[in-house]
């Protein structure tokens, strides 16, 4: 089973972030530019939370707020739920499923290493399952 650390090494550790004092408009624009669905919210280099497209839809659009006047810190999910790099992809998927989110910051002894998405983890788990199926088929067929 692959660990979260291995997944990060394979995908690269790009970290896209905003601060709590930036506007939601700027955060959404950054997500669009980078083609991502969530940003880390860092306050003086420390992980404060996560802001996702879901936060924007539910806490800005549905509440009739203006994205140019709303600060990220007022709508982001905080504190951020994190995972350690030694955890397995399956543990990450279980956490995301139970807590109902799609992006998971990876933190090791207080150091932010990157973010894994539900897509990253699903790809790995499906690959592992396919490998297991092929091994079993080879075993059965002799």
Q: Residue 27 pairs with which residues in a beta bridge?
A: none
pLDDT score at 33: 96
Residue 118's pLDDT is 93
The string of pLDDT tens digits covering residues 40-68 is 999 998 999 999 999 999 999 999 999 99
Tokens of 101: 């989110």
How far apart CA 105 and CA 108 sit, in angstroms, is 10
Q: How many domains is the chain partitioned into structurally?
A: 1
82-100 pLDDT, tens digit each:
999 999 999 999 999 999 9
Range of the domain at 37: 4-141
Of all residues in the chain, the percent with pLDDT exceeding 90 is 78
**Residue 136 corresponds to which tokens in the numbers above?**
């079993």
Q: Assign residue 94 the CATH number of its domain.
A: 3.10.580.10
| DSSP codes joined into one string, 119-132 | HHHHHHHHHHHHHH
**3 state DSSP class of 114:** strand
């Amino acid at each position: 089973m692959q660990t979260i650390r291995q997944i990060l090494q394979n995908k690269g550790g790009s970290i896209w972030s905003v601060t709590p004092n930036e506007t939601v408009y700027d955060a959404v624009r950054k997500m669009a530019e980078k083609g991502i669905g969530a940003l880390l919210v860092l306050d003086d280099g420390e992980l404060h939370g996560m802001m996702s497209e879901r936060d924007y839809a539910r806490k800005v659009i549905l509440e009739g707020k203006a994205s140019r006047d709303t600060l990220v810190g007022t709508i982001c999910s905080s504190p951020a739920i994190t995972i350690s790099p030694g955890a397995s992809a399956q543990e990450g998927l279980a956490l995301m499923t139970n807590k109902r989110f799609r992006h998971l910051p990876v933190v090791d002894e207080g150091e932010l290493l990157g973010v894994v998405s539900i897509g990253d983890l699903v790809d790995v788990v499906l690959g592992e399952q396919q490998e297991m199926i092929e091994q079993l088929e080879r075993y059965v067929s002799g």
